[in-house]
Amino acid sequence: MENEKKFEAIDGEALLDMDIPSTKFIIKGLLPQGLAIIAGAPKIGKSWLMLDWCVKIAKGESIWRFKTTQGTTLYLCLEDNHNRIQNRLLTITDEVTNNVYFVTSCCSLADGLEEQIRNFVKEHSDTVLIVIDTLQIVRQNSKDTSYASDYKEIETIKKIADELKIAILLVHHMRKQDDKDPLNKLSGTNGIAGGVDTIITLDKSKRSQNNATMICTGRDIEYREIELNFNKEDCTWNIISDSSENPDMLLPEEMSLLIEFMKQKRLFKGSNTEFADEFNCFCCKEISAKVLKRLMNKWRYELEDNGVYFESYRSNGKRGLSIKYYTESDDSDVKDDINECVNSFVNVDPIVPVATCNAISDDVCDYQREYEKVSE
């Protein structure tokens, strides 16, 4: 039968016996070969970070404590000019090798970018990294903003990276609205996140106003959160902590949900059980007041870094909770506000557990009734 179409299938036994090279990393543990994207708010410092990476990888120097694969790097600085690039290079380093290249203009995906990338790698066979800053500039001028359109464009670039066995890193923007899932922060549809191998987000720090949190996730790397500090003298990012070495950096899901809950609630004062009831309704969990309070006490400072402040107290023999969410724009003293809230809460009504939503099961309510009889 002519033109018979068949799968190019391989059986499991043969697959196990194949000699397949391991994943090649350009930055060990952070940036593997393939297509990656780094997204961040405007002016947060993405371009400074990319410039530093390109220079250090070309030299074969470590990036923070991560080893790099030395090779030629190409930085498409499509929002800059040669004067600005030169000034930035003079700021971050005393020496630049001749195997790091810069481009200030290029074709779009629609009119020749693929060919330009292939020709560059053909001329520089040791190329390991190409940074495109920004993705938006090289995209096709189309009114189609669907998932399929986004995915198709990303797939085109990914095929080039896979074919040439290099890393291509796209610089992109994040949405203005906050989201605890880094995949949802990328501007555009989920077709962008779905098409890349590695996603890196650079956002305002959860822990300090002067720092930034870099979240890394992907098909070939473990999820990690890296706390960075921007050095204004040489305009480089320095690592403060890494969740892979300090697992306590990662908030448990319950505390991340509590932060999201308080962003909407803003202020609560009442009993621990009442707070647990409302929290459970918000996140469709079944967490007892005792367990929730224990988690809050353990992660108190991390909650405060995220704008959530609380105080516990007793009134008429009952345990109460005053909790408030603050933003950077709030012009107030946190401790004074919390203390005022506590002092205004004179009497605590008897704690009668009420199943306020379907998320709270009878077992949870029974547990809470038993909990009322004992001290935390």
Closest by CA position to 41, among listed 184, 203, 180, 217 = 203
Identify the pLDDT of residue 370: 41
Lowest mean pLDDT among 53-62, 97-106, 188-197, 344-353: 344-353
Give whole-number Cα distances, 167 to 3, 119, 161, 197, in Å: 36, 16, 6, 10
Identify the pLDDT of residue 107: 96
Provide, rounded to the nearest whole percent, the portion of the chain with pLDDT above 70.
Answer: 83
Provide, rounded to the nearest whole percent, the portion of the chain with pLDDT above 90.
Answer: 58
Other C-beta atoms closer than 10 Å to the C-beta of 21 total 7
Question: How many whole angstroms separate alpha carbon 42 and alpha carbon 134?
Answer: 11
Number of H helices, E strands in the chain: 13, 14
For 213-219, what is the mean pLDDT? 93
Candidate ranges 6-15, 121-130, 311-320; pick with highest mean pLDDT: 121-130
- State phi, psi for 26 to the nearest 5 degrees: -80, -40
Q: What is the pLDDT of residues 102-126, one digit of tens each?
A: 999 999 999 999 999 999 999 999 9
Cα Dmax for the chain: 87
Average pLDDT, the chain: 84
**Residue 90 or residue 373, greater confidence:** 90
Other C-beta atoms closer than 10 Å to the C-beta of 351 total 20
Lowest mean pLDDT among 117-131, 209-223, 249-263, 326-340: 326-340
Query: How far does Cα 200 stand from its chain's mean position?
Result: 6
Say how many residues make up the chain. 376
Identify the pLDDT of residue 323: 94
Please check whether residue 292 is in contact with residue 279, taking contact to mean a CB–CB distance below 8 angstroms. yes
For 171-194, what is the mean pLDDT? 82
Closest by CA position to 23, among listed 75, 71, 69 = 69
For 214-232, what is the mean pLDDT? 92
Q: Is residue 251 over pLDDT 80?
A: no
The set of residues, in sequence order, having a beta carbon less than 8 Å from that of 115 and lying 6+ positions away, is: 107
3-state secondary structure of 290: helix
Q: What is the pLDDT of residues 11-43, one digit of tens each?
A: 998 887 888 888 899 999 999 999 999 999 888
Angle in degrees, CA 148, 152, 158, rounded to 5: 140
Give the model's confidence band at 366: pLDDT under 50 very low, under 70 low, under 90 confident, else very high. very low
Q: Is residue 244 over pLDDT 70?
A: yes
Q: Is residue 158 over pLDDT 90?
A: yes
Here the tokens at position 250 are 């990662």
Identify the pLDDT of residue 170: 98
Lowest mean pLDDT among 230-234, 257-261, 296-300: 296-300
Question: How many whole angstroms separate alpha carbon 127 and alpha carbon 133?
Answer: 17
Give whole-number Cα distances, 348 to 274, 290, 295, in Å: 11, 18, 23
Please check whether residue 49 is in contact with residue 68, taking contact to mean a CB–CB distance below 8 angstroms. no
The set of residues, in sequence order, having a beta carbon less than 8 Å from that of 34 and lying 6+ positions away, is: 158, 161, 162, 167, 168, 196, 197, 198, 219, 220
Q: Is residue 148 over pLDDT 80?
A: yes
Identify the pLDDT of residue 10: 93
Query: Where is 295: in which H helix or E strand?
Result: helix 289-298
For 140-153, what is the mean pLDDT? 87
In terms of Cβ atoms closer than 10 Å to its own Cβ (0-12, 13-18, 19+), residue 59 is: middle
For 306-326, what is the mean pLDDT? 85
Lowest mean pLDDT among 42-46, 111-115, 241-245: 241-245
Candidate ranges 113-122, 246-255, 363-372; pick with highest mean pLDDT: 113-122
Q: Is residue 329 over pLDDT 80?
A: no
Identify the pLDDT of residue 249: 65
